[in-house]
Amino acid sequence: MDDVNRPITNPELTAAVERMRRENSRESREAVLDLVITTARFLAPVTITPAPEEQDPGEAALGQGTQIQFQLLTNQEGQPFFPAFTSWEELRKLCGPKNQQTLVLTFDDYAAMVVRDTRAAGFVVDPFGACLSFDRAMVEHLVERKRQMTGN
């Protein structure tokens, strides 16, 4: 389980994205994809109803019947994507300084949501920054790629 008190920064992924933008080589693109599917942790903006009750500082418990609603952002073609943010700085580009409820998710979480929610066209990493879009077909491809990498 992720330590929610550990900051979300993804420095390896950020550096790999910068390298990919500079080089635009197959190797640099592959490095970004490998980090997205294996080690990246993303902030997902959500609305939790009712709001969780704080237990200890930094810890909250969700009660029975709690509903979690994930936000969707629409791209220029009108397709809805789940946003995934690599840091709080990137998330602030969406919500500004207000407190935004979030969950920490991995590629596997996003892949499951895309497969389960037919409204979503995919997910997008840092939509107001790097803007890496992963449509449904790409997500399915990456699920298979990860399966081959891990042998599961």
- Give the chain's radius of gyration (CA, Å): 16
CA distance 29 to 97: 32
Q: How far is CA 24 from CA 27, 61, 85, 102, 141, in A?
A: 8, 44, 22, 32, 20
Q: Two tokens at 147? A: 């399966």
Compute CA 41 distance to the chain's CA centroid, rounded to the nearest angstrom. 7
Q: Could you tell me if residue 139 is inside a domain?
A: yes
User: What is the model's pTM?
Assistant: 0.87
- pLDDT in tens for each of the 152 residues of the chain? 344 456 789 999 999 999 999 999 999 999 999 999 999 999 999 998 887 776 666 566 677 788 899 999 999 999 999 999 999 999 999 988 888 899 999 999 999 999 998 889 999 999 999 999 999 999 999 999 999 988 76
Q: How do 132-135 and 122-125 pair as beta strands?
A: antiparallel
Q: Could you tell me if residue 140 is inside a domain?
A: yes
Q: How many domains does the structure of the chain reveal?
A: 1
Domain of 112?
Answer: 42-51+67-150
Q: Could you tell me if residue 20 is inside a domain?
A: no
